[in-house]
């Protein structure tokens, strides 16, 4: 049943169980099926189930009591708290609403800009900001920003201590003429995994976002990585 993947069986089972809990198939607070039932359902041995449940118990998702059963101990059905914005207004609102803590990372302040996709012209100089955004003490994205040096220098304090997008949108002297972003699903490398506290090779959503001024020059370029599980995208197909 699981032969296609060489990931250890107990991890695959753990992921399926977690999926059931996120889906609400196994509701918060209720008992999950007994080991005998799970053996039949997944066609795996008791020890494999133990490994899977060890994983889930270690992060507090289930609580096991001998003689009683295993119960869902964490509500994962409302876990997805990050909606990828599809318009500038929404983007500003999303970022502003988040209570975040910024963790600045060291790095060369000025570095050449190498956009992941062709859109706009590179400007003369950029300030490079690299940081981790936190939400509820949990890292939720790793972001690397290239901000036009002139704009950054007009308020270094502000841009260094809070999300950049709302500040840009609020300024009268900065005109954003074009704004595009591309999202892909990839896997995390060692560096990203360490900062987001996930495993190397775990899926991440990789977002590249670019703002241009009227002369098609790049004033803001951001490369953002989110753990993929927390991403949700809503689209109104008839918006225009």
> Closer to DNA at the Cβ: 43 or 184?
43
Is 187 a binder of a second copy (CB under 8 A)? yes
Among 202, 220, 221, 222, binds a second copy (CB under 8 A): 202
Among 5, 65, 118, 136, binds a second copy (CB under 8 A): 5
Separation of alpha carbons 128 and 221, rounded Å: 10
Bridge partners of 110?
none
Q: How, if at all, do strands 203-212 and 126-135 pair? A: unpaired
* Assigned token pair, 126: 């950029």
Among 15, 64, 135, 149, binds DNA (CB under 7 A): 64
**Segment interacting with DNA, rule: CB under 7 A, options 38-46, 94-102, 115-123, 231-239:** 38-46
| Among a second copy, DNA, none, partner that 99 touches (CB below 5 to 8 angstroms by kind) | none
Among 17, 48, 168, 221, binds DNA (CB under 7 A): 48
Identify whether the C-beta of residue 128 lies closer than 8 Å to the C-beta of residue 146.
yes
- The residue length of the chain stands at 240
Separation of alpha carbons 202 and 229, rounded Å: 10
**Segment interacting with a second copy, rule: CB under 8 A, options 64-72, 137-145, 154-162, 232-240:** 232-240
Q: Taking the CB of residue 7, how many other CB atoms lie within 10 A of it?
A: 10
> Closer to a second copy at the Cβ: 125 or 178?
178
Is 216 a binder of DNA (CB under 7 A)? no
Is 45 a binder of a second copy (CB under 8 A)? no
- What is the rounded end-to-end Cα distance, in angstroms, of the chain? 46
* Assigned token pair, 203: 């899926």
* Dihedral sign from CA coordinates of 217, 171, 144, 90: negative
Residues that bind DNA (CB under 7 A): 6, 8-11, 31-32, 34-36, 43-48, 50-51, 53, 64-70
């Amino acid at each position: 049943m699981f032969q296609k993947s060489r990931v250890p069986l107990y991890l695959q089972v753990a992921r399926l169980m977690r999926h059931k809990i996120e889906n609400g198939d196994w509701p918060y607070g209720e008992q999950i099926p007994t080991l005998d039932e799970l053996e039949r359902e997944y066609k795996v041995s008791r020890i494999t189930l133990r490994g899977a449940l060890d994983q889930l118990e270690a992060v507090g998702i289930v609580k096991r009591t001998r003689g009683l059963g295993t119960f869902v101990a964490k509500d994962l059905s409302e876990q997805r708290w990050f909606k990828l914005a599809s318009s500038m207004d929404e983007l500003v609102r999303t970022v502003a609403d988040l209570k975040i803590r910024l963790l600045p990372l060291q790095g060369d302040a000025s570095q050449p800009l190498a956009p992941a996709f062709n859109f706009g012209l590179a400007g003369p100089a950029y300030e490079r900001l690299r940081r981790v955004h936190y939400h509820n003490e949990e890292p939720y994205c790793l972001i690397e920003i290239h901000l036009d040096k002139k704009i950054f220098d007009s308020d270094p304090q502000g841009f260094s201590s809070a999300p950049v997008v709302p500040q840009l949108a609020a300024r009268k002297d900065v005109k954003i003429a074009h704004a595009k972003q591309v999202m892909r699903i990839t896997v995390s490398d060692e560096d990203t995994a360490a900062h987001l506290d996930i495993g190397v090779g775990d899926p991440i959503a990789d977002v590249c976002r670019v703002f241009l001024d009227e002369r098609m020059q790049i004033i803001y370029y951001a490369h953002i990585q989110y753990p993929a599980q927390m991403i949700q995208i809503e689209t109104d197909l008839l918006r225009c």
